[in-house]
Amino acid sequence: MRDILDAVAAGDLSPAAAEARLRGYATTEAGRFDAARETRRGVPEAILGEGKSPVEVADLAATAVETTGRAIVTRVDDETATAVDDGLPSHVAVERDERARTVVAHTSNFDPPSLAATVAVVTAGTSDAPVAGEAAVIAREMGATVEWIEDVGVAHLGRIVDVLEPIRAADVVVVAAGREGALPTVVAGLVDTPVIGLPVSTGYGFGGDGEAALGGMLQSCTVLSVVNVDAGFVAGAQAGLVARAVDGGRSG
């Protein structure tokens, strides 16, 4: 503790970074940032943009960069993305994925994790890409190599058959689908790797808010796990944890 206090007194460590080291989180006006989550859980902390003002998100993102060297922000709109970018120092690299609605920032000395494992992220339709993209960003930030396979839904089974080789080569597969959510069930019957079903609130009419997709995946007669509707972060984190276990087995 004395070393931390001395570093703060010398100006080598900010109060927020010191608090993060001592408590595991840093307190800001916008809330508490869980700086120790990746060490504790293996999953990086992400800042949810929805429900927060752009100023609040930018404050939390700056704290994330200050305490961990990285910020991951999900569900961001244009105003929030601009606020995050403007609120970070110029030496911080900021990457926005407009489709996935994410912003990721890294300091120049951030050491990203690297896993000897591949996550395939598969979408049934192009409209499922925003939620699937969030899963891909999180899996990639956890160190996995991401193989992106888009628009291979069951309306034409030939589309999924044509891409089975890269899916089978992956160590874990996230399959995003809306409407009736059939694609994860089909994929899970064709591969011998873990499959994570990601129901998406695409479609219309009865069950069009993702409930039909969720119900179909939960009733799958092939073996797969399922996350909640539009839970791209959770699917990506689960895939990243599997990838980390695979990497550990290979390196051990």
- On whether both 96 and 134 belong to a single domain, the answer is no
Q: Which of 72, 106, 140 is the last residue of a domain?
A: 106
| Together in a domain, 137 and 94 | no
Q: Which residues pair with 48 in a beta bridge?
A: 74
Phi, psi of 176 (to 5 degrees): -100, 130
Host domain of residue 97: 17-106
The amino acid that residue 26 corresponds to is A
- Specify if 125 maps to a domain: yes
Number of domains in the chain: 2
- Amino acid 25: pLDDT: 60
DSSP for 190-249? T-SS-EEEEE---S-STTTTTHHHHHHHHT-SS--EE--TT-HHHHHHHHHHHHHHHHHH
Residue 252's pLDDT is what?
67
How high is the pLDDT of residue 34?
80
The yes-or-no verdict on residue 33 having pLDDT over 90 is: no
Report how far residue 151's alpha carbon sits from residue 126's, in angstroms, rounded to the nearest whole number: 5
DSSP string across 64-81 = HHHHHSEEEEES--HHHH
Q: To the nearest whole number, what is the mean pLDDT of the chain?
A: 89
Give pTM, 2 decimals. 0.90
Q: Do 235 and 173 share a structural domain? A: yes
CA 157 and chain centroid, separation? 28
Least Cα distance to 141 among 27, 62, 232 occurs for 232
SS3 2: helix
Residue 160 shares a structural domain with residue 134: yes
Distances (CA, A) of 236 to 7, 63, 177, 251: 36, 23, 15, 22
Same-domain pairing of 89 and 209: no
